[in-house]
Structure 1
Amino acid sequence: MAEYGYFLACEEHGPAALVEQARMAEQAGFTSLWISDHFHPWHDAQGQSPFVWSVIGALSQVTSLPVETAVTCPTMRLHPAVTAQAAATAAVQTNGRFRLGVGSGEALNEHVLGDRWPQAAVRLEMLEEAVQVMRSLFTGEEVSHHGKYYTVENARLYTVPEEPVPIDVSGFGPAATELAGRIGDGFVTMSPDADAVERFRRGGGATKPAMGGLKVCWAQEREAAVATAHRLWANEQLPGELPQVLPTPRHFEQANELITRERVAQNVPCGPDAEAYVQAITAYVEAGFDAVYLSQIGPDQRGFFDFYRSEVLPRLPG
């Protein structure tokens, strides 16, 4: 049975707005939350980027919904030992309703401490070792680790949940998807790619959850929604590795000039037609995903939740 969650966008909203959206999501009938983890927004028009762990602490006090980072990079800006402590605390705060989504990151967020941005294969090696370190720390036992990329000495987490935090791995290409199958407790991606789900399952994912994310823009007028989606999230349409290697919001703004409104209109469900959203979400279910997370683009969050409560969620596959 598919589940439907809401995707909180830290790139676009401040802490108070994110907390209020979580309340509205639960009231509207969404059953879980994703929240992004960025140091920068993708570009300046999005305009925000609060520290995700502070926001998760606030979410734990206002909603009973499970929460997951989508996704955290535990390899450069945050050492895996520090990420493990943050995730363990989040799991305690949410009474075990926290999952740690991880990925190999983007230069946009991870180069800010002056680290060299490595090639994709190296980033995946770093991620695999980081997951090993974090799982060791989630036991609550003292850990010393001397690996290829990370050193941990006499580290112990004293505040840990009753069960280790599940770690779901993001994948946008074959190598990352296979890694998710091999080391992840679940799979995270952003397109209804049936081949990716199958690759994850064959690689060791078996019955573990596959979760997909989808940006939408509800509005009374479709053209206004397309304009909003193009202004705020044209970067979602950038091809290939560009989102992983561009280093600053300014570079994304330059790349976004190549993305037309027509391309956004073709790829992002926009406007007042409930059927367009039902079809887009159902594509994930038909591709084999166990959960789909929706993120409303733009400021009209209340209108989105009212619309989805009455017009969309009741029509989705169970």
Structure 2
Amino acid sequence: MPEQNRRHPLRLGYKASAEQFGPNELTDFAIAAEGNGFDSVFVSDHFQPWRHDGGHAPSALPWLGAVGARTSKVLLGTSVLTPTFRYQPAVVAQAFATLGVMYPGRMILGVGSGESMNEVPLGLHWPDGKERFARLKEAITVIRKLWSEDRVSYEGTYYSTDKATIYDKPEQPVPLYVGASGPAATRLAGRVADGFITTSGKAPELYADTLIPALAEGAEKAGRSLSDLDLMIEMKVSFDHDPEKALQDTKHWAALALSPDEKTHVDDPIEMQRLADALPAERTASRWIVSADPDEHVRRIQTYRDLGFNHLVFHFPGTDQQRAIELYGAAVLPKLRATA
């Protein structure tokens, strides 16, 4: 077993899809996830969803506070929040410090460099990847300083503070995870983060030959190893006793199967929906583990476990999330825990 798995426990989480469901439904699903044996709940933070018809985009910050009050033990976090455009990083630092005081040891801040569909509709300039990466690095610096220091005066390229203090800080620091799908941001996660977030269903060589080596390289530069990080992956799974239903459920998330060239610079949910709806079910399912066999799910998930991922957060595509949570909690989670 990889070194990082020996140090970090196997965690099995639930992805609360804020692009697909409203805040009250998501709250019910989070409570159900805790009751069905999931260890964590991570919520996306979109200003606009992937689809216009039937889409949702509740704000992650008030939702996390509400769900913390309705649950007792699950870890709660963002997968992912962009602390560089809609939010000033100091405001993110304050919000998660508050959440950390209210729910000690239960909050995780997951951050990433963002998507144009969430920022451009607000009239914000969408820069190239180099600037987005530089902003993310600087935002993380500001957040860390405000969490650990008093009277922070910081002058950066993009952000600044003047004798800023966060007065209510948790005794136990809030872990900060970096979400990435490319080598530069993954190296950053290895250098500065408590955990790493990525998504399943892409080319196997991306994980084995690019992401895991980049993560290890970044950790080594900071005098650390992979064993110091929680390696989290959003597992895209569609499970039902009816295999045809499991296949058709993936169609709501057809946008995930679009190639980067097909969706680059698309910031309108109506246009994204049009592109996604043109895809056949066989292609929409390409990013998902689709099977009615629990053992097949376990076998295919094991390939990610073998790479070192220890925190598996399951994203179910269908409309009946309560059923998906109960089915997976009963049929698959126990088998996964047995393999650990």
1:12 Cα shift?
0.9
| Corresponding position: 1:219 with 2:228 | no
Please give the alpha-carbon distance, in whole angstroms, between the structure 2 residues aligned to 1:273 and 1:47: 30
1:242 Cα shift?
5.7
Aligned residues, how many? 317
Q: In the superposition, relative to structure 1, how do residues 114 and 203 fare at CA in structure 2: closer, same or farther (>3 Å)?
A: same
| Corresponding position: 1:56 with 2:64 | yes
Question: Which of 161, 164, 172 in structure 2 is aligned with 1:163?
Answer: 172
RMSD, aligned α-carbons: 1.8
Please give the alpha-carbon distance, in whole angstroms, between the structure 2 residues aligned to 1:27 and 1:315: 18
Structure 2 counterparts to residues 234-245 of structure 1, below 5 A: 234-240=254-260, 245=265
Match of residue 3 from structure 2: none
Q: Percent identity among equivalent residues?
A: 37
Amino acid aligned to 1:209: D
| Corresponding position: 1:300 with 2:320 | yes
1:212 Cα shift?
0.3
| Corresponding position: 1:14 with 2:22 | yes
Please give the alpha-carbon distance, in whole angstroms, between the structure 2 residues aligned to 1:115 and 1:22: 32
Please give the alpha-carbon distance, in whole angstroms, between the structure 2 residues aligned to 1:176 and 1:211: 15
Amino acid aligned to 1:238: L
| Corresponding position: 1:142 with 2:162 | no
| Corresponding position: 1:112 with 2:121 | yes
Task: Specify the SS of the correspondent of 1:228.
Answer: helix
Please give the alpha-carbon distance, in whole angstroms, between the structure 2 residues aligned to 1:243 and 1:290: 30
Residue by residue over 1:97-147, the C-alpha shift from the partner in whole angstroms, topping out at 9 and shown as x without a partner, is: 111100000001122331210111110000000000001111251222211
Q: In the superposition, relative to structure 1, how do residues 180 and 69 fare at CA in structure 2: closer, same or farther (>3 Å)?
A: same
Amino acid aligned to 1:197: I
Question: Which of 187, 210, 213 in structure 2 is aligned with 1:198?
Answer: 213
The gaps in structure 1 that reach 5 residues or longer are: none
| Corresponding position: 1:280 with 2:294 | no
Question: Which of 260, 263, 268 in structure 2 is aligned with 1:248?
Answer: 268
| Corresponding position: 1:188 with 2:197 | yes
1:279 Cα shift?
2.5
Q: In the superposition, relative to structure 1, how do residues 46 and 194 fare at CA in structure 2: closer, same or farther (>3 Å)?
A: farther
1:217 Cα shift?
2.5
Amino acid aligned to 1:224: K
Task: Specify the SS of the correspondent of 1:251.
Answer: helix
The gaps in structure 2 that reach 5 residues or longer are: 1-8
Question: Which of 24, 39, 60 in structure 1 is aligned with 2:47?
Answer: 39
Instruction: Please say if residues 223 and 271 of structure 1, whose CA atoms lie closer than 8 Å, have aligned partners that are also in contact.
Output: no
Match of residue 313 from structure 1: 333
Q: In the superposition, relative to structure 1, how do residues 84 and 241 fare at CA in structure 2: closer, same or farther (>3 Å)?
A: farther
Task: Specify the SS of the correspondent of 2:177.
Answer: strand
Q: Which deviates more from structure 2 when the two are superposed, residues 304-313 or residues 216-225? A: 216-225
1:7 Cα shift?
1.0
1:83 Cα shift?
1.0
Amino acid aligned to 1:225: A
TM-score (norm 2): 0.88
Please give the alpha-carbon distance, in whole angstroms, between the structure 1 residues aligned to 2:321 and 2:18: 14
Q: Which deviates more from structure 2 when the two are superposed, residues 238-247 or residues 39-48? A: 238-247
TM-score (norm 1): 0.93
Task: Specify the SS of the correspondent of 1:38.
Answer: coil
1:29 Cα shift?
1.0
1:159 Cα shift?
1.7
Instruction: Please say if residues 153 and 162 of structure 2, whose CA atoms lie closer than 8 Å, have aligned partners that are also in contact.
Output: yes
Q: Which deviates more from structure 2 when the two are superposed, residues 93-102 or residues 241-250? A: 241-250
Question: Which of 282, 285, 300 in structure 2 is aligned with 1:262?
Answer: 282
| Corresponding position: 1:28 with 2:6 | no
Q: In the superposition, relative to structure 1, how do residues 159 and 112 fare at CA in structure 2: closer, same or farther (>3 Å)?
A: farther
Q: In the superposition, relative to structure 1, how do residues 70 and 148 fare at CA in structure 2: closer, same or farther (>3 Å)?
A: same
Residue by residue over 1:163-213, the C-alpha shift from the partner in whole angstroms, topping out at 9 and shown as x without a partner, is: 332211111011111121122221110027233123202221622111100
